Amino acid sequence: MTISPPLAVIILAAGKGTRMKSDLPKVLHRLKGQPLIEHVLQTARQLNPTQIVLVVGHQAGLVQQSVGNRVLYAEQRVQLGTGHAVAQAETLLSDHHGNILILYGDMPLLTPSTLRQLIDLQASNSGPLTMLTVIAEEPRGFGRIVRDEKGAVIAIVEEADCAPAQLAIKELNVGVYCIQADWLWPNLAKIEASPKGEYYLTDLVAMAVQQGHQIKAVTTTDLVETLGINTEAHLAEAEAALQSRGVRDSKKSLNQ
């Protein structure tokens, strides 16, 4: 049995949530009577991390007031992408040499069992990174997972950059990763800005492949579990999903 190294969790919660049509930080919108961020924190705590870092930005004070002193805080003052957001947590986690799980404050339906699969797979991975993917029968709007003839992940191609054949790929990137801390920080610093001036975590996958590392993935078929809340319609969908799922404590482990 592989012993998992110490785990820290980074939760990205700096976004404005413009499509929610509210000045309230997106992660404070309520789902089943609790802010979205509370659902994510409850899940994260079940993984027994040594530290949880919440990366805040838009209306940071309101988020901190809601969450309190249960986590460490890093601030992303300017929204420059997911890679830049994670980088804000480096100072707080400089003494952590285990693995780091990267989650999102607007993704409240991920289960501890799915994330535990991700953590356990990375614990046995000789490479630096394990990612979460999802199978969608009608893939739209997400990066496609490109694998080689042996089934190894070799790239994430964003939808706008996909060749016609790649658009048909049904395996999508969720954006959730478990990464070796000692590999993450130096490589995060190497990410180059996109044409929009943003730095994306997805670039880490290509970097790891170029370095000769094996990328592993946990794949779920539950598209709803990976839902990110960007609109009121998404919030309603999440409410319905939690209703059908039943009590949180009775959530069952998903098949890969």
Distance from C-alpha of 175 to C-alpha of 226, rounded to nearest angstrom: 9
Distance from C-alpha of 237 to C-alpha of 221, rounded to nearest angstrom: 17
- Environment class of residue 56 by beta-carbon count within 10 Å: exposed (0-12), middle (13-18) or buried (19+)? buried
Q: What Cα–Cα distance (Å) separates residue 179 from each residue in 32, 36, 156, 212?
A: 31, 24, 16, 16
Which of 112, 104, 150, 110 lies closest to 134, judged by CA?
A: 110
Given 19, 30, 45, 147, the catalytic residue: 19
Is the separation of the CB atoms in 80 and 37 below 8 Å?
no
Question: In the annotation, is 19 catalytic?
Answer: yes
Distance from C-alpha of 52 to C-alpha of 7, rounded to nearest angstrom: 9
What is the set of active-site residues? Answer: 19
